[in-house]
Amino acid sequence: MAEFPRRAYPVRMPTDETATADSPSHVASRWRRFGRSPFTIMAAGSLLLWLAQPGSDYTLGLPRGSLGWLGWIALAPWVWLILAHEGLNRRGWTQVWLGGSLYWLIALHWIRLPHPLTPIGWPLLAGYLGVYPLLFVMIARRALRNGAPLWIAAPVIWIGCEWVQAHLFTGFALGLPSLTQAPYPVVIQISDLLGAYGVSFLLVMTATAAVFALRRECRIRRTAAVLITLSLVAASLLYGHSRLADQPAAQPGPTIAIVQSDALATWDPDPNRSQQIMDSLLALTRRAASEAEQKGQQVDLYLWPESMCRVPLVTLDNQLRPPADMPGGYASAVKSYQDWLGGMTRELGAPLLLGVDRYDVRRDSGQEDAEPTIYNAAALTDAERGVAAFYDKTHRVPFGEYIPLAKNMPALYYLTPMPGGLGEGAGPVAMTVDTEAGPLRFAPSICYESVVPHVIRRHVHQLIDQGEAPDVLVNVTNDAWFWGASELDMHLACGVFRAVENRRPLVIAANTGLSAVVDGSGRLLCVSNRMSEDILITQAPLDSRDSFYTSHGDWFALGCLVVSIGLIFVRLPQAACHR
C-alpha cells in the first residue's frame, strides 16, 4: 500500500504576541522596547548630566571636579533621540518631558529640605524645568526636518532655550551644562566673551558630534561635524590658555577675612536664637582678628554671611541718619545701634560688610505705627558713622522672598510661612573701603543673585556707567537651608562663572559654606569647609582686564534664540549627500 507523503507542518515559534509573559523571547522583547523608549533615552542623558554637575562627586564621596568631564557627552542620548527616524506620538512626547524632568528632580533634590512644604514645590519645579529639554528635542527635530544641519542647530537651539530659562519667571540658571566645567579654568575663559552660554554651546556641540561619529550618517556631514567641532573646541582652549597667560601679575588687593557661621536653618521660634548667633559671630570675628594679627596681616574688610547680623538696620525714608523726630521713637534706638557698629569697627580696626535685614519706615505712610518695608540687605560699617552704606537685594527669589501676585492679594501670605514679602532694591551699590592697596570699591550681591548671569553683569555694567567701576565683587549668602547638600557646590560654581564673565575677583561669605575667594580667571584661591564654622583670611587679587561680556551682555544667547525661532519656520535647502 502506497504511503502518502507526510505533510510537514511548520512549527510556530513564540513571537512577541504569542510568547508567554515569562518566556525569554518575551522578556528580551520588553527590554528592547524599554531600551528604545524616549523615557529611557532621556533618563540616560539626565543621569549623565547629573553625574557631571558640581556636588554629585561630593554625594558619591569623590574628589571635587572628578566627574566634570562627563559634561562633554552628557547630552549625547538626547541628541540620539532627536535623530530617531520614527515619529513621536503624544505618549512619546510625554516620556520625553518626564525623562527631562527626571534630571531636575535628581539635580534639585535639595529643594525639599528648607521647609515641610517645599517637597510639594520640588516636583512642580522639576516639571516646569523639564519643559526646556522637551522644547530642545521638539525644536531640534523640527529644524532637522526643515533641512538644518543638526550639529550646529542643536547647540543653537539649546542656548536659545537656556536663555529663556535664565530669564522667564525671574530666571533659574542652576544645574545648566556649563556649570560642569567650573573646575577647569582653561575651558571657561570664553565666558568673558559669550557668558556661560558659550561653554554650554561647546558641550552640546561636542555631544552632537560624538553622536554623528557613531552613527552611519552621510560621511561628508559626519566629517564636517566632527572637524568643525574639534576646531571650535581647540580654538576655545587656545583662547583659554591665552587669557590665563595674559592675567596681569598679582596686583596687591585687599586682605579680606571671611567669617563663616554655622547657624542651622530652623522655623522653630526661639527668643534666644538671635542672641546666640550674634554672640557666636562676634567671637568668631574677634578670633579672626587675633589670627590675622599673629600672622602679621592687616585685614581690610570683614565679611559676614547673609542675614547673620540679627539686629535689623532701621532707616527712615531710606536715610541712614534719621531725624530726632523720627516716628515711633526710633531715633534713639537707631543711634544706639549705629554707635555699637561703629565701636565694633574701631575694635577690629577695619569695617565689616554684613548681611542684615533693613526695616525702612516711610514718613509718608500717614501712620505712626505703619508696618515698615523689609529688605534683604548688605551693610558696610564705619568707625565714625556706624553704617556707611547699604545695598538692598534687587533680584528676589519667588516663593522664597516674595509671593508673585501677593501685592494685590496679600492673603496669599497666610498660605506660607512668610509673614510678608521683602522689598525690591533700587539698584547696585559700590561701597568704597580704604585698604592698604588704596581706596577700593566693593559691589555686593546677595544669595541667588550670583546664580543668574545677567543680574551680576547688569550690576557691574551700571556701576561702570556711573563712574563707580567695582574692583571686587562680593556675595553674601545663607545656604544653611540646604543642610550641606550639593546646592552648595552648584552655587559656588555659579560664582566661578560670574568672576570670569566680569573679570573681577569674587569673595563669597556663606553661612554653613561654601565660602570662597575666586580670582578673575575663575580659580578657587581658597574654599571653606561645609556645615561648620570657619575663617578664611586671604588677599583678593585685583584684575585689570576688560570683559566683552560685561560691555555687551547676552548678545550671543539672544542671537541663538532668534535663530532657533527661525529654524522652526524656515525650510533650508538640503544638499544631496553620497556616502
One-letter amino acid at 141 equals R
Check whether the bond before 174 is cis (ω within 30° of 0): no
pLDDT at 331: 75
What are the tens digits of pLDDT across the range 270-305?
Answer: 778 889 999 999 999 999 999 999 999 999 999 999
Q: Are 448 and 490 in contact (CB under 8 A)?
A: no
One-letter amino acid at 435 equals T
User: In whole angstroms, what is the distance from residue 349 CA to residue 173 CA?
Assistant: 39
What are the tens digits of pLDDT across the range 463-479?
Answer: 999 999 999 999 999 99
Measure Cα distances from 7 to 2, 10, 11, 13, 436 in Å. 15, 9, 12, 18, 104
Confidence of residue 246 (pLDDT cuts 50, 70, 90): confident
Q: Is the pLDDT of residue 335 over 90?
A: no
Domains of the chain: 32-247+556-569 (no CATH), 255-544 (3.60.110.10)
Q: What is the mean pLDDT of residues 75-92?
A: 91
Residue 391, helix vs strand vs coil: strand
- Determine which helix (DSSP H) or strand (DSSP E) holds 101, and give its type and residue range: helix 90-107
Residue 64, helix vs strand vs coil: coil
Sign of torsion over alpha carbons 187, 188, 192, 197: positive
Q: Which of 205, 174, 223 is nearest to 79 (CA)?
A: 205
Which of the residue ranges 9-23, 195-209, 381-395 has the most confident prediction, judged by mean pLDDT?
195-209
- Interior/surface letters 238-261, b for 16+ CB within 10 angstroms, e for the rest: eebeebeeebeeeeebbbbbbbbb
Q: Which three cell numbers stand for residue 284?
A: 568668631
pLDDT at 315: 87
Provide the percentage of residues in the chain whose pLDDT is more than 90. 71
Confidence of residue 370 (pLDDT cuts 50, 70, 90): low
Q: Which three cell numbers stand for residue 139?
A: 525644536
Residue 280, helix vs strand vs coil: helix
Q: Which of 256, 210, 255 is nearest to 230 (CA)?
A: 210
Q: Which of 544, 492, 534 is nearest to 517 (CA)?
A: 492
* 35-49, 287-301, 332-346, 509-523, range with the lowest pLDDT: 332-346
Q: What is the mean pLDDT of residues 419-430?
A: 87
What are the tens digits of pLDDT across the range 489-498?
Answer: 999 999 999 9
Q: Are 522 and 188 in contact (CB under 8 A)?
A: yes
Q: Are 509 and 473 in contact (CB under 8 A)?
A: no
Q: Are 71 and 12 in contact (CB under 8 A)?
A: no
Confidence of residue 7 (pLDDT cuts 50, 70, 90): very low
402 phi and psi angles, rounded to 5 deg = -160, 160
One-letter amino acid at 130 equals G
Confidence of residue 578 (pLDDT cuts 50, 70, 90): low
Q: Which of 453, 397, 389 is nearest to 424 (CA)?
A: 397
Q: What is the mean pLDDT of residues 173-182?
A: 97
If one compares 315 and 105, the residue with the highest pLDDT of the two is 105
Angle at 95 between CA 141 and CA 120, to 5 degrees: 125
- Determine which helix (DSSP H) or strand (DSSP E) holds 164, and give its type and residue range: helix 150-167
If one compares 349 and 30, the residue with the highest pLDDT of the two is 349
pLDDT at 9: 41
Q: Which of 544, 359, 547, 324 is nearest to 457 (CA)?
A: 547
Mean pLDDT, the chain, integer: 89
If one compares 330 and 550, the residue with the highest pLDDT of the two is 550
Q: What is the mean pLDDT of residues 35-50?
A: 93
